[in-house]
């Protein structure tokens, strides 16, 4: 039986429910957004008791088939004021699906901080006790000591406890590092607002998987998909150089955020390229290929070590290296690794935090390039000083408070490492995704075409947004996109093997479009009208060097993106 569980934190009770028929073929983002849309008042206070936090693995999650057990966290976002789905790796999605759960819904607000312990058919709430106030690393260490290393954890750090908009939910990787975040949109703040410090998902025993309608078909179809992963050159790049190799490409294209999105290219980025990273990790004895979840064969993750070979941070990602590096004019991997470590421990989104610090630097609060100044900001966030809380509110709030107009955000969420004046398809994604300026909703950088030309970028972004949504619904990592062209049929056949129902190409597309339209409708009711589906005006005015580019995709085109199938 397919189940979901609801936790009423105010009453301290829970209820297992069989999955309603209408939700049977919804997973990941489709399920979180549907539950939020069905049950949450769009005008509610995102940090109040009537918001709900939903965790949902994908439709095909729960086995060790490569990169198939992502976890979606959904709620009304305190950052954007609209609906949010934030996607993460780690082992939470796998363990939840193994335990037969398609969704966990957190309702209300507890009097005291709680931990939630989930097993097969069981759920226990316990006072969080002395875990409160601890960072994610220490929290994970104590929970593993008690529940064993095979459990998966979803936890918040001090940022989530302080209800910061930059707070994410940290999920543990196979070695137990709490470094895989549902990062974007303040999902950690929503978890904190419910007073849930941690979710522990127990190991149900060896080789437990969800019940398969046709196990032999599942095995053969998943083999086809895994074979694609094993032989794809694009996947091989992820394995060798992670996501960090995107930096040299975006820098050469002239669309890399430098100095709070004021330049698109800088020769100094040579010291933080993907190839530099991979070589340094190799020379120091770190790990260039690492799986963030059990079974992932793409292994885009990595482990950065210091000169003495001691682990500092996992994982060094392109977007982090840009927002906490180039955007702050800090071209030093050891510094960026320290920042990443701090972000993971606090449990915050590296993109929003880096964006917020960049705006603070532009205001002159600290100098661009000031490594010690950034480390001090992390200390202040931990301690909850006024400055720490200001950065924790995100880039848009920092801009308002400090009088900086040049904030690269949409719906209050800062853009990622692709300046929309140059990577215009991503500009369309930032503007039109119901998620706000979130590149993971439809990242067009992989398209080999002229990114500066505004023509055709609405269609390009739309197709990328649809594919990303499909992958999120199935539970596949977005990096499986590299083999989606050759594996889409395998994925649909895996669905049929799992559920015994046919799934056509048109069905999958319909599922994705329905999800996006449901989210847009929620946003409209929440007060986010078409005027919020816009790239900020200053990016249409201020030209970006070296191309002298502005964002010039017409608004009317943006407004029509979801009108047709």
Residue 485 burial (10 A CB sphere; 0-12, 13-18, 19+): exposed
Q: Which does residue 115 bind out of other proteins, ligand SF4, none, counting CB within 5 to 8 angstroms by kind?
A: none
Which stretch, 126-134, 143-151, 267-275, 454-462, contacts other proteins (CB under 8 A)? Answer: 267-275
Q: Which is nearer to ligand SF4, 248 or 317 (CB)?
A: 317
Which stretch, 270-278, 303-311, 504-512, 515-523, contacts other proteins (CB under 8 A)? Answer: 270-278
Distance CA 284, CA 334 (A): 12
Instruction: Please tell me the count of residues contacting other proteins according to CB under 8 A.
Output: 48
Q: Which does residue 340 bind out of other proteins, ligand SF4, none, counting CB within 5 to 8 angstroms by kind?
A: none
Which stretch, 135-143, 314-322, 511-519, 529-537, contacts other proteins (CB under 8 A)? Answer: 314-322
Nearest Cα neighbor of 419 from 437, 442, 394 is 437
* Binding of other proteins by 246 (CB under 8 A): yes
* Binding of other proteins by 433 (CB under 8 A): no
Which stretch, 150-158, 204-212, 271-279, 485-493, contacts other proteins (CB under 8 A)? Answer: 271-279
User: Which residue ranges make up the site for ligand SF4 (CB under 6 A)?
Assistant: 67, 89, 291-293, 296, 298-301, 477, 479
Site string for other proteins, 315-344 (x = CB under 8 A): --xxx-------------------------
The H or E element containing residue 36 is helix 28-39
Contact at 8 Å (CB) between 164 and 77? Answer: no
Q: Which is nearer to ligand SF4, 303 or 407 (CB)?
A: 303
Contact at 8 Å (CB) between 401 and 532? Answer: no
Which stretch, 101-109, 244-252, 401-409, 519-527, contacts other proteins (CB under 8 A)? Answer: 244-252
For 122, the token pair is: 């069981």
The H or E element containing residue 16 is strand 13-18
Taking CB under 8 A as the criterion, the residue among 212, 217, 275, 371 binding other proteins is: 275
* Binding of other proteins by 308 (CB under 8 A): no
- Residues near 492 by Cβ (< 8 Å), separated by ≥ 6? 503, 504, 505, 508
Taking CB under 8 A as the criterion, the residue among 24, 237, 259, 400 binding other proteins is: 237
Q: Which is nearer to other proteins, 135 or 248 (CB)?
A: 248
Q: Which is nearer to ligand SF4, 288 or 396 (CB)?
A: 288
* Number of neighbouring beta carbons within 10 Å of residue 532: 18
Q: Which is nearer to other proteins, 238 or 261 (CB)?
A: 238
SS (HEC) of 470-538: HHHHHCCCHHHHHHHHHHHHHHHHHHHHHHCCCCCHHHHHHHHHHHHHHHHHHHHHCCCCHHHCCCCCH
Q: Which is nearer to other proteins, 114 or 443 (CB)?
A: 443
Query: Closest approach of Cβ 287 to other proteins, in Å?
Result: 16
* Binding of other proteins by 297 (CB under 8 A): no
Distance CA 408, CA 544 (A): 13
Nearest Cα neighbor of 545 from 249, 258, 245 is 258
Nearest Cα neighbor of 519 from 432, 444, 458 is 432
């Amino acid at each position: 039986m397919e189940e979901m569980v609801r936790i009423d934190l105010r009453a301290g009770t829970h209820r297992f429910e069989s999955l309603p028929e209408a939700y049977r073929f919804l997973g990941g983002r489709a399920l979180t957004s549907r539950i939020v849309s069905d049950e949450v008042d769009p005008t509610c206070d995102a940090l109040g008791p009537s918001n709900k936090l939903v965790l949902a693995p994908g439709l095909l999650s729960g086995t060790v088939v490569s990169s198939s057990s992502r976890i979606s966290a959904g709620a009304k976002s305190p950052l954007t004021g609209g609906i949010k789905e934030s996607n993460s790796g780690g082992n939470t999605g796998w363990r939840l699906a193994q335990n037969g759960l398609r969704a966990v819904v957190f309702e209300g607000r507890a009097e005291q901080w709680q931990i939630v312990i989930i097993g097969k058919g069981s759920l226990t709430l316990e006072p969080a006790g002395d875990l409160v106030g601890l960072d994610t690393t220490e929290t994970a260490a104590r929970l593993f000591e008690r529940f064993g290393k095979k459990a998966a954890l979803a936890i918040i750090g001090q940022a989530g406890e302080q209800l910061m908009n930059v707070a994410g939910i940290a999920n543990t990787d196979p070695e137990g590092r709490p470094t895989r975040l549902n990062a974007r949109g303040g999902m950690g703040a929503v978890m904190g607002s419910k007073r849930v410090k941690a979710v522990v998902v127990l190991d149900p025993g060896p080789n437990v998987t969800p019940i398969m309608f046709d196990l032999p078909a599942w095995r053969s179809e998943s083999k086809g998909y895994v074979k694609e992963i094993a032989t794809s050159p694009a996947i091989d790049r992820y394995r060798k150089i992670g996501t960090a190799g995107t930096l040299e490409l975006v820098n050469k294209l002239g669309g890399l955020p430098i100095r709070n999105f004021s330049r698109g290219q800088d020769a100094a980025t040579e010291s933080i390229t993907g190839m530099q990273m991979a070589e340094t990790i190799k020379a120091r004895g770190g790990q260039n290929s690492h799986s963030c979840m059990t079974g992932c064969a793409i292994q885009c993750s990595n482990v950065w070590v210091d000169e003495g070979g001691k682990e500092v941070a996992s994982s060094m990602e392109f977007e982090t290296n840009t927002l906490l590096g180039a955007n702050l004019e800090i071209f030093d991997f050891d510094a960026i690794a320290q920042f990443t470590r701090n972000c993971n421990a606090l449990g915050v989104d590296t993109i929003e935090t880096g964006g917020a610090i960049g705006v603070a630097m532009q205001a002159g609060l600290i100098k661009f390039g000031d490594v010690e100044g950034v480390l001090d900001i992390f200390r202040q966030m931990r301690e909850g000083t006024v400055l720490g809380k200001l950065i924790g509110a995100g880039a848009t709030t920092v801009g308002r408070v400090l009088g900086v107009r040049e904030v690269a955000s949409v719906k209050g969420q800062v853009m990622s490492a692709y300046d929309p004046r140059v990577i215009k398809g991503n500009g369309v994604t930032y503007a039109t995704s119901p998620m706000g300026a979130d590149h993971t909703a439809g990242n067009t950088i992989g398209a080999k075409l002229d990114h500066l030309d505004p023509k055709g970028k609405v269609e390009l972004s739309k197709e990328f947004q649809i594919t990303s949504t499909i992958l999120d619904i199935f539970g596949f990592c977005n990096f499986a996109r590299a083999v989606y062209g050759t594996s889409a049929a395998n994925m649909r056949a895996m669905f049929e093997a799992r559920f015994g129902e046919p799934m056509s190409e048109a069905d999958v597309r319909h599922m994705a479009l329905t999800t996006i339209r449901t989210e847009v409708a929620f946003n409209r009711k929440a007060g986010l009208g078409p005027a919020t589906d816009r790239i900020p005006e200053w990016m249409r005015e201020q030209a970006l060097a070296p191309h002298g580019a502005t964002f010039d995709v017409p608004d009317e085109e943006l407004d029509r993106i979801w009108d047709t199938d």
